[in-house]
Amino acid sequence: MSEVSIDIHRDGTEVTESLRRDVREGLSARPKWLPSKWFYDATGSELFDRITTLPEYYPTRAEREILARRATEITATSGMRTLVELGSGSSEKTRLLLAAGTAHGTLREFVPLDVSSSALSASARAVAAEYPRVAVHGVVGDFTAHLETLPGSAPRLVAFLGGTIGNLVPAERAKFLASVRAVLGSGEWLLLGTDLVKDTDTLLHAYDDSRGVTAEFNRNVLRVVNTHLGADFDPSAFDHVAHWDDCREWIEMRLAARRPMTVSIPDADLTVRFERGEYVRTEISAKFRPEGVRAELADAGFAVRRWWTDRKGRFGVCLAQV
């Protein structure tokens, strides 16, 4: 077992305080919305792991296919000494990069960063046990807020996989990519996974599976608000909706009230009324075109060195350099 350390950028009170702010802002807006990072308590992280095994949810398998074929090339091209993973979750696909990095002999350190402390500590320990020569330095934090510094020696490769960048709207993406650029030195790397625009049916099924796992994942955000802010949401009174926005090319997940209701959220000093059918937007998941990915990266100061897709062209992985 190699060395493991975990830094906590958010303690319990800060988490509750930031949830309170988001709930007050989002649930007072029209249409109502909540940031998607609040899905991921221990239950939500487990539900997401189940989503990744569903037949309809192709992104995980498509990205794994690319990483399996290209891990050696990624390692050799970048010569990474440190692998940083943002939104690392269970770090399941990352094992492919860890294995290639160890085989190549350059990789010394793994830095996973995630909002979920349960997912992070489990995966940090598992990786330390599987890769005894790689030091693991976990960070519990929010990749949109805690990127002032990144540990590890250069050259570092920052992996942002799964298409999670699609959870940000374009202005947030620009800000996020600029902040990654700012913590990297010249010659360092970004490995970015992006889900691609494709036929609407495939997209809608991926976000509205027949077993209802995505629906439970979606409703979990209401349970998180109940637990942390003493709210009395009845999750079963909300329908899961996946909507494709053809103009902005993103999937929107919503929770729609099945009946009129009033929800009280005492720890946010808030009472929220819902009309029948009124919804909360809980996530956007943007889908990309290759030229759009290149343009957003170029605007942030990255040059694309490699671009791969899976055989069916559903998902893209891009290796970019500062």
Residues 138-167 that bind ligand AVJ (CB under 6 A): 162-164, 166-167
Residue 51 found at the interface with ligand AVJ (CB under 6 A): yes
Residue 285 found at the interface with ligand AVJ (CB under 6 A): yes
Residues 194-213 that bind ligand AVJ (CB under 6 A): 207
Q: How far apart are alpha carbons 300 and 29 in whole angstroms?
A: 30
| Ordered alpha helix ranges (H), the chain | 12-28, 42-51, 59-78, 94-104, 117-130, 170-183, 200-206, 213-229, 290-300
Shorter beta-carbon distance to ligand AVJ: residue 168 or 272: 168
Are 277 and 288 in contact by the 8 Å Cβ rule? The answer is no
Q: Is 299 annotated as a binding residue?
A: no
Shorter beta-carbon distance to ligand AVJ: residue 168 or 322: 168
Integer angstrom CA distances of residue 300 from 181, 303, 322:
7, 9, 9
Near ligand AVJ by CB under 6 A: residue from 283, 296, 314, 320:
283
Q: Is 143 annotated as a binding residue?
A: yes
Shorter beta-carbon distance to ligand AVJ: residue 117 or 214: 214
Shorter beta-carbon distance to ligand AVJ: residue 40 or 274: 40
Tell me, by CB under 6 A, how many residues bind ligand AVJ.
11
What minimum distance in Å lies between the beta carbon of 107 and ligand AVJ? 25
Sign of the torsion angle spanned by Cα atoms 201, 194, 127, 221:
negative
Residue corresponding to tokens 């209802």: 212
What minimum distance in Å lies between the beta carbon of 170 and ligand AVJ? 16
- Give Cβ neighbours of residue 147 (< 8 Å, ≥ 6 apart): 179, 180, 182, 183
Work out the end-to-end distance of the chain between its first and last CA atoms, rounded to an integer number of angstroms: 33
Closest among 31, 37, 44 to 256, alpha carbons compared: 31
Q: How far apart are alpha carbons 113 and 191 in whole angstroms?
A: 15
What minimum distance in Å lies between the beta carbon of 283 and ligand AVJ? 6
From the number of C-beta atoms within 10 Å of its C-beta (0-12, 13-18, 19+), residue 318 rates as: buried
Q: Is 57 annotated as a binding residue?
A: yes
Residue 112 found at the interface with ligand AVJ (CB under 6 A): no
Near ligand AVJ by CB under 6 A: residue from 90, 94, 123, 214:
214
Q: How far apart are alpha carbons 256 and 277 in whole angstroms?
A: 5
What minimum distance in Å lies between the beta carbon of 162 and ligand AVJ? 4
Determine phi and psi for 207, rounding to 5 degrees: -110, 10
Residue type, 139: V
Q: Is 226 annotated as a binding residue?
A: no
Residue 190 found at the interface with ligand AVJ (CB under 6 A): no
What minimum distance in Å lies between the beta carbon of 83 and ligand AVJ? 19
Number of helices followed by number of strands (H, E) in the chain: 9, 14
Q: Is 285 annotated as a binding residue?
A: yes
By beta carbon distance, the residue nearest ligand AVJ is: 285
Q: Is 296 annotated as a binding residue?
A: no
What minimum distance in Å lies between the beta carbon of 247 and ligand AVJ? 19
What minimum distance in Å lies between the beta carbon of 217 and ligand AVJ? 6
Residue ranges for the known binding site for S-adenosyl-L-methionine are 87, 93, 114, 142-143
Binding site listing for L-histidine: 57, 167, 207, 283-285
Binding-site positions:
57, 87, 93, 114, 142-143, 167, 207, 283-285
Residues at the interface with ligand AVJ (CB under 6 A): 51, 59, 162-164, 166-167, 207, 214, 283, 285
